[in-house]
């Protein structure tokens, strides 16, 4: 059987969709830049306008805004919840964000931080803290919390990307599988840490 290898060039990745999603937020960022660079020295506001008009320094603000939005949605989803209810809320909120904003999520994954005061890092820490808050109800040993956080991210990330790529084309409803996965993770966390999990919610 012959194997046909396509040589046509593939379309390059674009952040146009991400730009469209955060245009309003970036306009506010631009206003802040202009307000902070007012000066009697003509060159300073001219440089600020040049950065804005040329599109310079735009990617970092977009990444920060996307990460901050994820952090805010997780915070709201977890409000007043604990145990398996918090775990389910975390899984559903992260999955919903990834499926609604695949461009934003993909852009933030693996973005490098530039120091302890980097706004992107500060927003990212809020995301991780939300995951850590869920785990705190399970009694996970301090030395294993990082492993647990990474495991939860992998579960959610993997499912959401496979779902977006139409990777579940057989068997039961993927939503049923997602609910099963949450129960599976809850059981594993209770086994690892001895926390209340589902038992607390059902008592």
In the chain, where the domains are located: 15-57, 58-202
* d(C-alpha 48, C-alpha 33), whole Å: 7
89-113 per-residue burial string, b: 16 or more CB within 10 A, e: under 16: bbbebbbebbeebebbbbbbeebee
Average pLDDT over residues 13-24: 62
- Paired tokens of 179: 């609910």
Q: pLDDT tens digits, residue range 140-153?
A: 999 999 999 999 99
- Paired tokens of 99: 């499926």
Look at residue 192 and tell me whether its pLDDT is greater than 60.
yes
44: nearest Cα among 54, 30, 32, 33: 33
Residue 169's Cβ-count burial label (10 Å; 0-12, 13-18, 19+) is: exposed
Helix (H) / strand (E) containing 156: helix 145-164
Any idea which architecture 58-202 has in CATH? Orthogonal Bundle (1.10)
Q: pLDDT tens digits, residue range 115-161?
A: 888 888 999 999 999 999 999 999 999 999 999 999 999 999 999 98
Length of the chain: 203
pLDDT at residue 164, rounded to an integer = 85
> 66-80, 99-113, 184-198: which has the highest mean pLDDT?
66-80
Question: How many whole angstroms from its chain centre is CA 31?
Answer: 26
pLDDT at residue 117, rounded to an integer = 87
């Amino acid at each position: 059987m012959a194997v046909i290898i396509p040589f046509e060039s593939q379309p390059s990745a674009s952040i146009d969709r991400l730009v469209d999603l955060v245009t309003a937020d970036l306009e506010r960022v631009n206003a802040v830049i202009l307000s902070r660079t007012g000066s009697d020295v003509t060159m300073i506001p001219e440089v600020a306008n040049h950065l804005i008009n040329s599109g310079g320094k735009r990617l970092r603000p977009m990444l920060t805004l996307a990460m901050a939005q994820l952090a805010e949605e997780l915070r709201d989803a977890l409000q007043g919840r604990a145990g398996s209810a918090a775990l389910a809320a975390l899984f559903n909120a992260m999955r919903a964000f990834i499926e609604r904003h695949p461009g934003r999520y993909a852009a933030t994954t693996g973005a490098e931080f530039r120091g302890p005061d980097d706004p992107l890092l500060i927003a990212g820490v809020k995301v991780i803290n939300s995951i850590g808050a869920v785990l705190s109800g399970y009694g996970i040993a301090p030395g294993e919390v990082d492993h647990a956080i990474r495991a939860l991210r992998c579960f959610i990330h993997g499912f959401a990307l496979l779902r977006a790529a139409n990777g579940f084309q057989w068997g039961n409803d993927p939503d049923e599988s997602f609910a099963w996965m949450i129960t599976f993770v809850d059981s594993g966390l209770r086994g690892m840490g001895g926390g209340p999990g589902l038992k607390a919610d059902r008592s």
